Amino acid sequence: MSDFLRLAEDIAREAGDMLLAKRPTMSEEIETKSSPTDVVTALDKASEELIRERILAARPGDRILGEEGGEEPGDSDVRWVVDPIDGTVNFLYGLPEWAVSIAVEVNGQVVAGVVNLPARGEVYTAALGEGAWLGAERLRCNTGVPLAQALVATGFGYGVSRRAVQGQVVAAVLPRVRDIRRGGSCAIDLCSLAAGRVDAYYERGINPWDYGAAGLVATESGARLEGLHGRPVSPEFAICAAPGLFEELHDLLAAQNPERDA
């Protein structure tokens, strides 16, 4: 295991333990961000502060991009991409699907990723070219699944007009697949795909802190993760599935023009 991965895992575990211990007493301190439904708790901020402190203590000079605190300036080739709680609404409601996500990029490429699900007791890790793991178990995504038999995870943004389009898109997808899952965390959806718990995932509007670490878990499990029409994954669009299913789902989604705004 690389030094990057070891450090990221130690920090993600420490932040997760802190969040589990403090969740019942602090989660009612809520602010909103991009819309009234887009919440941030005091613990999102506390988790990110802890993670930033630990990274900079171990690797002063590295850059950090965090969901709550934005980008830490610097000229290092190494950038840490941090989501202190992915699935904040689940966290707030006491649902177990929330995660601490830490990715390490070198020259813009993710080389290590950790997604810690404290309430489920699961830690997903991946290192570039070395595989994806749930604890000690090597992960392989499901292969050979036709679109009509695919369990497809997706998510919805917080903005009203984007949600209106996302509702139309999912209405076109639902009759063509086994079923849809909306878990509430991009990071967990991608890790679930790597673990064979869903077959595919798509979403518009996710950010590098949502998909940085889990994206590597998914691709190291054998999945393709891209945007539409061969573009790289980005906040514009993300599709993830094993080759074969990826193309079928891509073509269904592309026909819906899902990057349009209402």
Annotated binding site for Mg(2+): 67, 83, 85-86, 210
Maximum CA pair distance of the chain? 51
Which listed residue (48, 210, 220, 248) is catalytic?
A: 210
* Piece of 5-13, 144-152, 154-162, 170-178 that binds ligand LIP (CB under 6 A): 154-162
Minimal distance in Å, beta carbon 115 to ligand LIP?
11
Q: Can residue 41 be called a binding residue for ligand LIP (CB under 6 A)?
A: no
Backbone angles phi, psi at 171, to 5 degrees: -65, -30
Q: Give one DSSP letter per residue of 213-254, joined into a string.
A: HHHHHHHHTT-EEE-GGGPPPBTTBEEEE-TTHHHHHHHHHH
What's the CA gap between 38 and 118, in Å, rounded?
A: 22
Residues flagged as binding site:
67, 83, 85-86, 210
Check if 25 is active-site.
Answer: no
Helix ranges (H only) for the chain are 3-26, 42-58, 88-93, 160-173, 186-194, 208-220, 245-254
Is 251 an annotated catalytic residue? no
Residue closer to ligand LIP (CB basis): 59 or 162: 162
Active site residue 210: yes
Could you tell me the two tokens for 7?
């450090």
The contact pattern for ligand LIP, residues 194-213, with x = CB under 6 A and - = no contact, is ---------x--x---x---
Judged by DSSP in three states, 101 sits in strand
Residue nearest to ligand LIP (CB): 155
Tell me, residue by residue from 60 to 99, as one string, x for binding to ligand LIP by CB under 6 A and - for no binding. -------x---------------x--xxx-----------
Q: Cα separation of 64 and 121, whole Å?
A: 26
Nearer to ligand LIP, 48 or 210 (CB): 210
Beta bridge partners of 137: 134
How many other C-beta atoms lie within 10 A of the C-beta of residue 260? 11
Q: How many residues belong to the site for ligand LIP (CB under 6 A)?
A: 14
The residues that are catalytic are: 67, 83, 85-86, 88, 210
Note the residues at the interface with ligand LIP (CB under 6 A).
67, 83, 86-88, 155-158, 185-186, 203, 206, 210
